[in-house]
Amino acid sequence: MLSIDSIEPLIPAARIEERVAELARQIQSDHPGGELVVISVLGGSVIFLADLVRKMKIPIRIDTMSVSSYTGKAVVPRRLRVLKTFSEDVRNKHVLIVDDILDSGATLAAVLRDVGAMRPASLKTCVFLRKKRQRKIEISPEYVGFDIEDNFVVGYGLDYDGMYRNLPHIAVLKKGHLQSPQAEGTTERSTFTTP
């Protein structure tokens, strides 16, 4: 088990609270008077989702889906697998996908493809963190909490080997403490298969 010495604070809790409130106001202003279906990609986004929707004063339906691309101590994404799909009927409804982090873009692209196939009236995305990195998949979320460097981060719902989700802030997991997924014999962070 890793110690607190293995992480370095990056975004403080107070700044997160401030930014989530800003995002909530922006989303609410873009959906005046209409019902919004919010679909959260579990499990990293659950804390962000809870804070975000509690700050919005519009009619909201909440659903979740579970996708996985990293397991165990893996730090590199591999094949995407759907573990749980959402149940809400989104046809002709305004939909917001909430995810914790935009990394390679594969997870969000796959979710958008599947939800978009159900013909919602509108489909937007909100990510808590967006990594500054080259992506093979072009994807531009309408709402972004923070842009960060391409580091492995934990806290505020994000984990490493199941730990650190309960940290109230975002921290960088120091490179010396990351273990190779190949050495551990694990697969990398996965969700469903992209084309």
Q: Let me know: does 77 contact 106? Beta carbons within 8 Å.
A: yes
Give pTM, 2 decimals: 0.81
Q: What is the pLDDT of residue 100?
A: 95
Report the topology of domain 13-149. Rossmann fold (3.40.50)
Half-sphere exposure of 113 (CA within 13 A, CB side): 13
The band of 192, judged by pLDDT with boundaries at 50, 70 and 90, is very low
Taking the domains of the chain in order of start, what are their residue ranges?
Answer: 13-149
100 among known catalytic residues:
no
**Which residue is catalytic, options 89, 103, 114, 150?**
103
For residue 18, give the 3-state DSSP assignment. Answer: helix
Q: Let me know: does 51 contact 15? Beta carbons within 8 Å.
A: no
* Residue 45 pLDDT exceeds 90: yes
